[in-house]
């Protein structure tokens, strides 16, 4: 069962409260050989696929998607066909993550429709805003997003079976060029040091935190890295680049996903839209891109 831990700074609870699995262990991953891959077609991002092939069960699995870019009721209906099919997946995901640009305009109507369609998956759903979810530059531009998804869905932390999932808002307005907001830096500096030493962490953001991402690198990530580099981060997941891309830094993997929009294009020219199926283990993650076909009943 997913346990919300630190929805806001002022309401912090012990980081292992309510854990359904073992608390984090001191883990060394330095001996893992990590490779950077340019990703195309159907692709396995698992750097340790041999271990998975021998039957090691993941602690949990989730669907990671981004850049849904809902622009119309027709787009929302197409998304609903995809998420409805997720109900029938076997194994089932434990939850769904949608990391920003849920809509192209941030309208109340489309954000509400997107929220409703995401929940057709029949699992908990965790979201972040993207720059396209702003109606205007500035914090007031997020009023619709907050009206639909609540006040605890831009910087927050949840725990699943001894793994901390850190959701970071790195949007800074309606523009594509992101800079880490001061509020996010303060939240990270306050919250992340309280995650128990060695606990595995998965970081989710709309824009990719890796400085070498081919498009739209964030202006200055160092205030976040100052904190995150001291922790046991297994992987970083993001969208915004609209392309499957993978990097490595400081022993952690960075996985950027293609968009899952019926209308928007990928920025690397790939026609394939879809999501990442993520298996989380105590020392690593395995992510596999699954293509979706909008307009048909499909789930991957």
Q: Which residues are near Zn ion by CB under 5 A?
A: 67, 101
Looking at the Cβ atoms of 190 and 215, the one nearer to Zn ion is 215
The least CB distance from residue 167 to Zn ion, in Å, is 17
Q: Which two tokens stand for residue 131?
A: 């720059």
Count of other CB atoms within 10 angstroms of residue 38: 11
Closest CB 197 distance from Zn ion, rounded Å: 35
**Bridge partners, 3 (sequence order):** 159
Closer CB to Zn ion, 5 or 259, in the complex: 259
Least Å from the CB of residue 101 to Zn ion: 4
**C-alpha span between 215 and 252 (Å, rounded):** 20
Q: For the CB of residue 66, give the shortest distance to Zn ion in the complex, in Å.
A: 7
3-state helix, strand, coil in the chain (%, to 5): 25, 20, 55
Nearest approach, Cβ of 68 to Zn ion (angstroms)? Answer: 8
- What tokens does 183 get? 């509020």
Cβ distance to Zn ion smaller for residue 238 or 288: 238
Sorted by sequence, the CB contacts under 8 Å of residue 100 that are 6+ apart come out as 66, 67, 127, 128, 129, 130, 131, 132, 133, 171, 205, 206, 239, 240
Are 131 and 170 a contacting pair, CB within 8 Å? Answer: no
CB of 297 to Zn ion, least distance (A): 25
Closest C-alpha to 242, from 278, 220, 202, 273? 273
Pairing of strands 156-160, 3-4: antiparallel
State which residue, 202 or 208, has the beta carbon closest to Zn ion.
Answer: 208
Three-class DSSP category at 256? strand
CB of 228 to Zn ion, least distance (A): 23
Q: Which is nearer to Zn ion, 101 or 169 (CB)?
A: 101
The residue (of 115 and 283) whose beta carbon lies closer to Zn ion is: 115
**Which of residues 67 and 169 has its CB atom nearest to Zn ion in the complex?**
67
Nearer to Zn ion, 67 or 94 (CB): 67
Residue 241 DSSP one-character state:
S
The number of angstroms, rounded, from the C-alpha of 138 to the middle of its chain's C-alpha atoms is 22
Q: From the CB of 129, what's the least distance to Zn ion, in Å?
A: 11
Task: Determine the Cα–Cα distance for residues 122 and 118; give it in Å rounded to an integer.
Answer: 8
Q: Pick from 30, 61, 139: which is nearest to 300 by CA?
A: 61
């Amino acid at each position: 069962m997913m346990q919300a831990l630190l929805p806001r700074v002022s309401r912090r609870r012990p980081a292992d409260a309510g854990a359904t699995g073992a608390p984090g262990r001191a883990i060394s991953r330095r001996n893992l050989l990590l490779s950077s891959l340019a990703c195309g077609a159907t692709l396995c991002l698992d750097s340790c696929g041999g271990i998975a092939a021998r039957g090691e069960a993941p602690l949990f699995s989730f669907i990671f998607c981004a850049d849904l870019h809902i622009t119309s009721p027709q787009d929302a209906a197409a998304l609903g066909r995809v998420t409805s099919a997720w109900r029938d997946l076997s194994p089932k995901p434990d939850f769904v993550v949608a990391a920003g640009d849920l809509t192209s305009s941030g309208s109340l109507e489309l954000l509400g429709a997107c929220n409703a369609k995401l929940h057709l998956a029949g699992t908990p759903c965790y979201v972040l805003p993207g720059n396209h979810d702003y109606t205007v530059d500035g914090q007031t531009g997020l009023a619709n997003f907050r009206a639909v998804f609540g006040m605890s869905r831009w910087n927050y932390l949840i725990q699943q079976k001894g793994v901390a999932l850190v959701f970071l808002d790195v949007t800074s307005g309606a523009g594509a060029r992101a800079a880490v907001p001061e509020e996010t830096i303060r939240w990270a500096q306050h919250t992340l040091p309280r995650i128990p030493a060695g606990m595995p962490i998965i970081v989710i953001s709309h824009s990719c935190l890796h400085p070498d991402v081919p498009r739209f690198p964030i202006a200055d990530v160092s205030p976040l890295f100052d904190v995150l580099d001291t922790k046991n981060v297994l992987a970083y997941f993001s969208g915004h680049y609209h392309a499957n891309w993978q990097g490595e830094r400081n022993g952690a993997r960075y996985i950027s996903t293609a968009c899952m929009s019926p209308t928007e294009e990928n920025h690397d020219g790939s026609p394939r839209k879809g999501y990442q199926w993520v298996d989380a283990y105590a020392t690593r993650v395995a992510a596999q891109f699954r293509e979706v076909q909008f307009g048909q009943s499909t789930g991957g």
